[in-house]
Amino acid sequence: MLCHLCDAGSLGIGKYASQYDAPELAWIENGFGKKFMPFSFETFRQYYVPVCSILALSAITLFVISCNTHTRLKSTDLLETESSGRVKGYSDSHEIEKRIRDEYMRWKGTQHSLGGTDHGGIDCSAFVRAVYSNVFNIQLPRTTEEQVKEGTSINRDELQAGDLVFFKPPDFPRHVGIFLSGKEFVHASKSKGVIISQIDSYYWGKYYWTGRRFFSE
């Protein structure tokens, strides 16, 4: 008994089926001039299974591409900038802090190395540059001398998560970190490597210099 599951000719797959040298895949023509494929186990195994596999693989591929596109859009939602150099569209300080803390866990304990830029050793300006690039897709200058000129100046009592905080310690010309909340900031310490410290501690409080903001509502 024959049954036509689909109009194979209208789908343009007759050419595909003809590559199989099997009598079960011969086309049957009905009274209306339409050609259909007879159904049998051999037909199902040699034709329908490969076609379904191709369709399933295509669907999976499209799904993966869609997910990757969504992720890229989410990670680059800070690209719109103002003339001041600040980044628009990211006013949720809690989300900013969460992203920074997540990135910190990837760097935690990395030793300080003057001129270093990776997990083998990194200095303070390279660390904040890496965090801003990896988390917010913002490209900061390489040195503290240039970084302190970017963004908008912020008073110490107005600091929010993501603001850069600068210091002038006696044993180093400049130092920079990223403010979190609760008076904490993350930085590449010369003596302890990448670490979270208290901005109002005796040492850092004494040598605090200025803050710069790169986010705006």
What's the token pair of residue 68?
């990757």
Return the SS3 of 208: strand
First to last CA, the chain: 69
Whether 187 is catalytic: yes
164: nearest Cα among 172, 173, 149: 149
Q: Which helix (H) or strand (E) holds 92?
A: none
Give the helix ranges, DSSP H, for the chain. Answer: 8-11, 14-17, 41-43, 49-75, 93-107, 124-136, 144-147, 202-206
Whether 124 is catalytic: yes
- Asked if residues 121 and 110 have their Cβ atoms less than 8 Å apart, the reply is yes
Q: Tell me the catalytic residues.
A: 124, 175, 187
